[in-house]
């Protein structure tokens, strides 16, 4: 694996796809590190307080852990993928932690694929798209996972915002969870 210091953070290409290809070629592999801070699995050195969603110290512990992970993988992988549910369960403090972790990852030259699986109709989808791709997005994603379940028209706000900002969109098609076939394989 290349030395983290050997890969400085060059200016990003104008589009996520180009940036991803560039980073993968520079590193020689397509590894993406998931950032899924399950509260029960937070290592002892990072634990604070009760490690429960209602304990304000928990969001701080999650942020410290995730920032340490970002620091460890910077220059070694092309992409990090924070799962927003683990942050959202902690309320506003968790969302603030997510904002900070994403900002730190981007500053370290990592591409950030936010795993939010968003999908909704019209103006709601526009709101989600602005929250991740807008100029003032609190959680500025390089790419976002979205769900097309409500119809292809629900993807348009995400695709338009991604195109305007140079971001990427990962559309769920067939998921790997054991029960995915319950709906995804139905012949209707």
Place of tokens 């520079």: 26
- Which positions are catalytic? 117
- Choice among 3-17, 82-96, 125-139 with the minimum mean pLDDT: 3-17
Residue 5 lies in a domain: no
**Is residue 36's pLDDT more than 70?**
yes
Domain membership flag for residue 64: yes
- Segments forming the whole domain that contains residue 25: 19-173
In a domain, 105, yes or no: yes
CA distances from 2 to 24, 27, 34, 78, 127 (A): 12, 7, 20, 12, 39
What CATH number does the domain containing 57 carry? 3.20.20.70
**pLDDT (0 to 100) of residue 99:** 98
**Which pLDDT score, from 0 to 100, does residue 12 have?**
62
Rounded to an integer, what distance in angstroms lies between the CA atom of residue 56 and that of residue 54? 6
Predicted TM-score (pTM) of this structure: 0.90
User: In the structure, what pLDDT confidence band is assigned to residue 10 with cuts at 50, 70 and 90?
Assistant: low
Burial class (CB in 10 A: 0-12, 13-18, 19+), 113: buried
């Amino acid at each position: 694996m290349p030395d983290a210091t050997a890969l400085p953070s060059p200016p990003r290409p104008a589009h996520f796809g180009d940036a991803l290809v560039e980073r993968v070629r520079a590193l020689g592999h397509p590894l993406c590190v998931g950032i899924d801070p399950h509260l029960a699995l937070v290592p002892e050195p990072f634990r604070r307080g009760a490690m429960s969603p209602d304990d304000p110290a928990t969001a701080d512990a999650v942020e410290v852990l995730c920032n340490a992970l970002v620091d460890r993988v910077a220059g070694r992988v092309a992409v990090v993928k924070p799962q927003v549910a683990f942050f959202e369960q902690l309320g506003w403090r968790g969302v603030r932690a997510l904002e900070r972790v994403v900002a730190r990852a981007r500053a370290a030259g990592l591409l950030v694929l936010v795993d939010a699986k968003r999908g909704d109709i019209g103006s709601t989808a526009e709101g989600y798209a602005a929250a991740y791709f807008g100029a003032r997005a609190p959680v500025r994603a390089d790419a976002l996972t979205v769900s097309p379940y409500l119809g292809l028209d629900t993807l348009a706000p995400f695709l338009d915002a991604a195109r305007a900002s140079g971001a990427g969109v990962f559309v769920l098609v067939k998921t790997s969870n054991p029960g995915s076939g319950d709906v995804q394989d139905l012949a209707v």
